[in-house]
Amino acid sequence: MYVVYFVASASCLLIFCNRILGILNMYKGDKSVIRKILEFLVYVTAFLFPATVLYGLKVPDQSAVKPMTRQIAPYYPDCLDDSNVIVFISPDPKKLKNSLIFYLCYLLALAIASILSAHLAYHLLSRRMTHQSEKTRRMHLKFNRRTLLQVLIDTCFTSIPFTVSNMATLFHWQVPELTYFVDVMSKNSPTACIVILFLYYDPYQKWLLDTFQIVFLRKNRVSATGTMVKSAET
């Protein structure tokens, strides 16, 4: 479970970094040695950040650790009760506080870096498309909007709810509504990602439209056959 979470998170970050760096390379042209080294460091950092979850391998008994975590952090949101949620820090007050501070810094840095890099890529591509054809500009405008929307969705459904939950635990906020907000937003993150895929990626759009078209045609055929049978009987 820890390895799967690590691979999934690292893959998302690496894909996002690859997209942003690809846009920057399109605008800048040939890469110097310093740029190659910086890109390598960016990839390594993006890969290692989610590796913190592997500390959970030191906490194998989740059924025993979760009640202990609840005792030392009574304001922890209800998402801790979910069987898919894991505790990867030993239930020690000092370790828990330090891990919360580190994770908050990680979430805030990730959200800020994602938003700023997406806006930078949008700005650079907009400048590059000034002298291109109208069709090319529309294509890149759609690509830019898709990137910005993906960043917004990812920030709203991952960074924001987990930032709120960790801040509630760290500062002992006793607000029940925060629990519902964190649960709803975090659990609907996969749904939001699927919506993004079907709304903005042409292959998924085509598959979705073809599927609905086939279902609609089948219903029309069934209704038409039923009408013909009834007319024949009368």
Does pLDDT of 6 surpass 60? yes
Residue 35 CA to residue 38 CA, distance in Å, equals: 5
Q: pLDDT for 37-64, tens place per residue?
A: 888 888 888 787 777 666 655 666 777 7
pLDDT at 170: 78
pLDDT at 60: 60
Our separate counts of H helices and E strands in the chain read: 9, 0
Q: pLDDT for 28-43, tens place per residue?
A: 667 778 888 888 888 8
Q: pLDDT above 90 covers what percent of the chain?
A: 0
* Of 51, 40, 35, residue with least CA distance to 17: 40
Residue 149 CA to residue 145 CA, distance in Å, equals: 6
75-100 burial code (b ≥16 CB/10 A, e <16): bbbebbeeeeebbbbebeeeebeebb
Does pLDDT of 190 surpass 70? no
